């Protein structure tokens, strides 16, 4: 009955936020060297135009000619969270079934030599992340929500 399976659990330390939205795979990636720094990374669906910059809006040194490690990590975590098939469909990547994994997806995109996208997306991704976090702050309610019967949990037993 459910169409979208719930997100699969994953560790959030490296990539605290990933989503398929605004026609992009986008998210927030922690810096490997500096605990105070995060990168805002994205890949556009269809063109695979990529972008990566820090929270201070400085371009990522690794993302000049191609996908940097942040973008690669972002793809990996997206595959963990959504499954390779859904990520591939969203980004319009054509990968044969047996190659539908992080590596297959990444190489299919890099082989097209995608261009660097403009960095204006970073601000939007940032605001999407804040919107996402705001979901932690809404007050729970004890009034019944009958509509949730359409969204049963899809637990371990299957």
Partner 1 sequence: MRADLLTDAVEGLDEALAAVDGFDGVLVGGLLRPQPAQAIGLAGLADAVAGSPLAGRVAEAAEKTAAGAADEDHYLALAAARTALLGSVHDALIARGEEAVGRTCAEEPAAEAAGAAGAEPPVNLLVAARGWLCDLARAGWQGIDHELVGGAAPVVTAMLPEPGLRRLATLLDGFAAELAASCPGATQERIPVRRWADLWSRAMMLTLPGADRATAVTEATGRLLPLGVDLHEHATAVQAQVHAVFEPADGGMPRLVRASVSAPKPDTVVGAGLWQLLRPHMSLLAAVSEGRAMELEAMPVTAEGDLIWDDARATLGEPAEPFTTARVALPTAAASPVAPVDRHPARIAVPVLLEGYGVEDEGEAVAFRVAGERLAVDAGRVPAAGPLTADAVASSAACLGLLRWDAGEFLVQPLAVERTVRKKPVAVHAGAWAGGTADKAGVRAEKAATDAVTVLRERAGRLLRK
Residues within the interface to partner 1 (CB under 8 A): 1, 3-4, 6-13, 16-17, 19-23, 28, 30, 35-38, 55-56, 81, 86, 126, 129-133, 135-136, 138-158
Q: Output 107 or 151, the one with its CB closest to partner 1.
A: 151
* d(C-alpha 138, C-alpha 154), whole Å: 24
CB atoms within 10 A of CB 100: 17
Q: Output 65 or 139, the one with its CB closest to partner 1.
A: 139
| 7 phi, psi to nearest 5 deg | -55, 140
Copy the structure tokens of residue 13.
């330390």
The least CB distance from residue 5 to partner 1, in Å, is: 9
The least CB distance from residue 111 to partner 1, in Å, is: 23
Q: Output 113 or 149, the one with its CB closest to partner 1.
A: 149
| 34 phi, psi to nearest 5 deg | -120, 115
The least CB distance from residue 143 to partner 1, in Å, is: 6
- Cβ–Cβ < 8 Å for 105, 114: no
Query: Which residue(s) pair with 42 in the sheet?
Result: 26, 51
The least CB distance from residue 40 to partner 1, in Å, is: 9
The least CB distance from residue 44 to partner 1, in Å, is: 12
Query: Which residue(s) pair with 39 in the sheet?
Result: 29, 54
| 155 DSSP assignment | -
Q: Output 23 or 59, the one with its CB closest to partner 1.
A: 23
* d(C-alpha 75, C-alpha 44), whole Å: 12
Q: Output 4 or 98, the one with its CB closest to partner 1.
A: 4
């Amino acid at each position: 009955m459910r169409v979208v399976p719930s997100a699969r659990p994953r560790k959030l330390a490296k990539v605290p936020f990933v989503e398929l939205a605004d026609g992009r795979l986008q998210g927030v990636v922690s810096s490997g060297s500096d605990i105070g720094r995060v990168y805002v990374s994205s890949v556009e669906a269809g063109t695979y135009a990529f972008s990566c910059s820090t929270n201070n809006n400085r371009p990522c040194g690794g993302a000049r000619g191609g996908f940097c490690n942040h973008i690669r990590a972002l793809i990996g975590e997206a595959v963990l969270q959504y499954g390779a098939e859904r990520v591939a469909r969203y980004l319009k990547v054509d990968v044969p079934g047996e190659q539908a994994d992080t590596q297959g997806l990444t190489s299919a995109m890099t082989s097209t030599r995608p261009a660097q996208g403009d960095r204006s997306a970073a601000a939007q991704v940032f605001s999407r992340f804040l919107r996402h976090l705001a979901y932690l702050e809404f007050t729970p309610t004890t009034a019944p929500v009958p509509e949730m019967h359409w969204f049963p949990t899809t637990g371990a037993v299957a």
